[in-house]
Structure 1
Amino acid sequence: MNAIATFFEPARTHNAMASNFYRQTGVQTGLEAASPHRLVVMLFDGLMEAMAQARGAIASGNVELKCRAIGRAVRIVDEGLKSALDLQQGGSLAADLSDLYGYVIHRLTEANLHSDVDALEDCRKVIEPLREAWLAIAPQADSR
């Protein structure tokens, strides 16, 4: 590395750190200000983003990124969407959603094990209508 590049390296590192801090602060602020309905939308959006990233990683042969993206998707479904269900109060709808989320987790795991883009597409086809339905109830959810 030449002397000029070495001189600017700390500035690049500082800029990256500042940018990362800004992003984390923005996410934290967004989470704190979000309604419960908006939080679920954010989970769906994060899931769709993680699955798209995994598809790209599979296409480019980036195994590490594929594993990270699918791991993130599984955590969003399991720790976010599925764990938010109230199985005692939610009745059959909550039980059906729990089963559906279990299926998505299973397919995501298969996608990871076999670099299976079709399994990711299957998950997208299952999740997208739920996301759209959730967005459609936004006016009613926000007025409560």
Structure 2
Amino acid sequence: MFTSSSRSAGSNDFSALYRRTGVETQVLAATPHHLVALLFDGLLESVARARGAIEQRDLITKGEAIGRAVRIVEEGLKAALDMQAGGKLAGDLRDLYDYLTLRLTQANLRNDPAPLDECRALVLPLQQAWAEIRPAA
């Protein structure tokens, strides 16, 4: 079951696997509302990780974190919008998500934490509002 290379893997490998498994379990058991909440959490976590990486001048981690944040916005939040049923609100959110993607890209290209701070400031109220409208279980 375990090869010699997997037995010698560092504790970081196992903790990453544990975290990933925990996230996968949450996703499989989540309601659609909870899935969006997880996307907001993941986006803010990625933005914070990218900001820290810029401060540490860790370009690889910065690129990975910003890439993850962009994927969450584009493939998660934006893709989940129902443009027909959502009307103007969905259109406004789509425009906001486009702007977030632009600012994340600028932060990446310029190694500038200011766009990341702006993204965080724009997403936090959405995350909080989404938590407040949680459906009753």
Residues 29/74 of structure 1: CA separation in 2 closer, same or farther (3 Å cut): same
Counterpart of 1:4 in structure 2 is: none
Match of 2:131 in 1: 135
Spell out, residue by residue over 1:116-142, the C-alpha distance to the aligned partner (whole angstroms, 9 max, x if none). Answer: 11100010111000000001111xx23
The residue that corresponds to 2:91 in the other structure is 95
Q: How many residues align?
A: 134
* Structure 1 residue aligned with 2:106: 110
Distance 2:127 2:87 in 1: 20
Q: 2:97 is matched by which residue type in structure 1?
A: Y
Which of 44, 48, 63 aligns to 2:59? It is 63
Structure with greater Cα Rg? 1
Matches within 5 A, 1:1-144: 11-13=7-9, 18-138=14-134, 141-143=135-137
| Offset, 1:109 | 0.4
Contact kept in structure 2, 1:104 and 1:123, CA below 8 Å: yes
What 5-or-longer segments of structure 2 have no aligned partner?
none
* Partner amino acid, structure 2, of 1:111: A
Q: Distance in 2 between matches of 1:17 and 1:82?
A: 31
Q: CA RMSD in A?
A: 2.0
CA distance in 2, matches of 1:136, 1:63: 36
Q: 1:62 to 1:79 in 2, by over 3 A?
A: same
Judged with a 3 Å threshold, the aligned counterparts in structure 2 of structure 1 residues 9 and 65 are, in CA distance, closer, same or farther, namely: same
Q: Cα distance, 1:9 vs. partner?
A: 7.9
* Aligned-pair identity (%): 51
Counterpart Cα distance in 2 of 1:16 and 1:115: 27
CA separation of 1:71 and 1:136: change in aligned 2, threshold 3 A: same
C-alpha separation in 2, matches of 1:69 and 1:63 = 10
